[in-house]
Structure 1
Amino acid sequence: MAPTTSPALPAGYTLHAGYPDIPSYLQLRSASGLTPKSPAQAAPIASNSWYGCYIAFEGTPVAMGRIIGDGGWYFHIADMATLPDHQRKGLGQVVLTELLAYIARNAPHDETKGECPYVTLFADGPGKRLYEKNGFQVAAPKQTGMQIYDRRVVPGQWA
């Protein structure tokens, strides 16, 4: 687990618990290189995530991340994104540290009982170094990530 105190933010940046508004969320995703989403896809994020945080610069959201999971043992880091003009300033480290610290503070954790949070994420090329620096390891060959993505659901089957 990562340290439970966030690194200092550069001047003008502030860390907030919660989620950016939907237009900011959508803009952060697309501008940072994540797959664009629609307002309908973004709408349930705040109510269906376990925790999230974002960093604002002079009031505008410029970096974000969130945790989806059950609150018991399984946690998935998602939507890690920083606007290109604000990258290379340590903002991703601050967001990731905050997310991991929230898990450490709030998830059941007692190693003597075998209670340890299971934290996963999908890493793209630019984020891989950040995640490895924070203790994440490639799961292969023991585990392989799999997905069904960008398909239309037909009742009772995948098209």
Structure 2
Amino acid sequence: MGMTGKLDIRYQCPSVEQYSALRKEAGLSEMSAEGAAIGLPRSIFAVTLYEENTLIGMGRVIGDGGCFFQITDIAVKPSHQGRGLGKMIMREIREFLNTVPEKAYVSLIADGEASKLYEQYGFESVMPRSQGMFLRP
């Protein structure tokens, strides 16, 4: 765990309440408290950024731990955007991904301009040979 000035990097998931509040503030879709309580502890890797014990950014890796990994929940509080925190989160995740088995498939869904951030870390579009799809039960 590193301290950079007042910035505290932690390798753990936030609480359900912190998670829900950050997703909402960052403009991400709402998740149920029930789903977050089940899902957060099952993260394969998580990085959270705190400033004076206030969650200001996070990212997670989910999946089966061997063949498939998905990056999710990349979020930075709007009041803290433009400071390179998204890049810091992605660097931490990229470092973790260097430890996964070879030929593992690592994916993410990039919303809007976020693809520009992810391209800096080696991600490329799957279009046109594949397309992202989702089901909201």
TM-score, with length taken from structure 2? 0.91
Q: Which amino acid aligns with 2:98?
A: A
Within the alignment, does 1:86 sit opposite 2:75 as a pair?
A: no
Superposition pairs of residues 1-150 of structure 1, within 5 angstroms = 11-105=5-99, 107-109=100-102, 116-149=103-136
Q: Which amino acid aligns with 2:53?
A: G
Q: Which amino acid aligns with 2:57?
A: A
Q: CA separation in 2, counterparts of 1:132 and 1:14?
A: 26
Shift of 1:10: 5.8
TM-score, with length taken from structure 1? 0.79
Q: CA separation in 1, counterparts of 2:4 and 2:116?
A: 21
**Deviation per CA, 1:115-134, whole angstroms, max 9, x where unpaired?**
x2221000011412111111
Shift of 1:28: 0.6
Q: CA separation in 2, counterparts of 1:133 and 1:48?
A: 27
Shift of 1:85: 0.4
Shift of 1:41: 1.6
Shift of 1:9: 7.9
Q: CA separation in 2, counterparts of 1:19 and 1:84?
A: 20
Consecutive unaligned residues of structure 2, counting only runs of 5 or more, are none
Instruction: Extract structure 1 runs of 4+ deviating beyond 6 A.
Output: none
The RMSD of aligned alpha carbons is 1.7
Structure showing greater radius of gyration is: 1
Share of identical aligned residues, percent? 34
Q: Given that residues 18 and 46 in structure 1 are in contact (C-alpha distance below 8 angstroms), is that contact kept between their aligned partners in structure 2?
A: no
Q: Which amino acid aligns with 1:54?
A: T
Consecutive unaligned residues of structure 1, counting only runs of 5 or more, are 1-7, 110-115, 152-159
